[in-house]
Amino acid sequence: MTENNDLEIVAPDAIGSIERAQVDVQISTARKYPRTLSKVKERMLSFATLDEETASSCFYTLPARRGGDDKPIQGPSVRMAEIALASYQHVKAGSRIIADDGKFLTAQAVVHDLENNVAVSIEVRRRVTSKSGARYSDDMIAVTGNAACSIALRNAVFRVVPRALITPVYEAAKRVAVGDVKSLTSKRSQIIARLKQMGAKDAAILAAVGADKIEDIDLARLEILIGLGTAIKDGEITLETAFPGASPNQEAKPIFKEPAQATVTVTPTAPAADATIQVDASEPVTTAEKAGTPQERLAALVIRAGFTLEDFNAFAIGIGFYPAPVSDWPEVPVETANRILRSPKGLITQLKGGTK
């Protein structure tokens, strides 16, 4: 005797009806309590100009396109879109990865203005292979996917929220971020130091804004540099694209902080390349970590700590040491290896944090 004969079959139309009912309620609520544009603009301004760091993150800069007018491209950033989305009210928004063909990820974002019943869908593609055709590691694919979703959402938000609201807030954020003539010297030093910490060289920084020397960087050029930094952080461009020839500088401070107990000792009579690296005072240092090329010593340090080249690639690209994964240890730039070897415990701490 069969017992389960009374199963209820829900027609596909029923699910659609439920979804339509939910949207109808949201639209009705939005129109019952309409937004006040003056208050929206006031909220956006208060968020965007809250402090210099927030203001700096509200706009990006991309290098001039080939064959164009040689002017850098600027625009409101992902952070500005988040501020607009939070302030505009009565908006449904979301983004996701909808396709991966092995070479490109495709992200889709949808933004629905419930009060005006206007919806916009935007798709963005991002490459997940290196110049040699090798596919990124899982961690790098995840990072690339997150960046693609953020950029797609930004583009969709700015199709829904009127530019009449975005533009004055965007300009106000730039004024707060760049400062005025009185603060130019200190602000210029701060921004250049930050870019050099990311790995940009003086010559590349000057070339990016068409200046012959640091003192030639005025307020307009400083604005471009701030925007380039934001574009790199948001995943719009790589460090190498923004500043060709960029690589971590040995004289710059490490991006990660070195624990107080970490020690790096150098034999007085030996050359700098033979620096002795201590990973832990309780563990013996291997011969490979005492001698050899910087890349060989780095490989020995990472492998001895239980990590792989793939783990190191994810860390190095996330920090901004180089834009794409390397396939073997000798491909790690010498400057990068030397800089990281200055703080071995900082590296291990970062690797442990990245694999949790």
pTM summary value: 0.59
pLDDT value of position 258: 34
* 172 and 299, same domain (yes or no): no
Q: Which of 213, 245, 277 is the last residue of a domain?
A: 245
SS3 60: strand
Q: CB neighbours of 178 closer than 8 A, spacing ≥ 6?
A: 187, 219, 222, 223, 226
* 185 and 296, same domain (yes or no): no
pLDDT class of 255 with cuts at 50, 70, 90:
very low
DSSP string, 265-322: E--TTS-GGG-EE-S-TTSPPPHHHHSS-HHHHHHHHHHHTT--HHHHHHHHHHHTS-
- When mean pLDDT is compared across 12-21, 115-124, 176-185, 202-211, the lowest value belongs to 12-21
* 283 and 196, same domain (yes or no): no
What does the pLDDT look like over 336-350, one tens digit per residue?
A: 787 788 778 778 877
Residue 342 lies in a domain: yes
- Mean pLDDT across the stretch 219-232? 88
* 27 and 93, same domain (yes or no): yes
- Let me know how long the chain is: 356
pLDDT value of position 3: 54
* 33 and 64, same domain (yes or no): yes
What does the pLDDT look like over 39-82, one tens digit per residue?
A: 999 999 999 998 888 999 999 988 877 666 678 888 999 999 99
The CA distance from 61 to 174, in Å, is 12
What does the pLDDT look like over 103-149, one tens digit per residue?
A: 999 999 999 999 999 999 999 999 999 888 889 988 889 989 999 99
Q: For the chain, give the mean pLDDT.
A: 79
**Number of domains into which the chain is organized:** 2
* 309 and 241, same domain (yes or no): no
The CA distance from 337 to 333, in Å, is 6
Q: How far is CA 283 from CA 304, 305, 309, in A?
A: 11, 11, 22
- Point out which residues pair with 125 in neighbouring strands: 106
* 68 and 151, same domain (yes or no): yes
- Reference 160, options 116, 124, 94, 107; nearest CA is 116
Please give the residue range of the domain that contains residue 308: 264-354
- When mean pLDDT is compared across 157-166, 187-196, 200-209, 289-298, the lowest value belongs to 289-298
* 224 and 298, same domain (yes or no): no
Residue 3 lies in a domain: no
As given in the structure block, the two tokens for residue 67 are 């064959």
Residue 12 lies in a domain: no
Residue 143 lies in a domain: yes
Q: Which of 195, 218, 245 is the last residue of a domain?
A: 245
* 324 and 193, same domain (yes or no): no
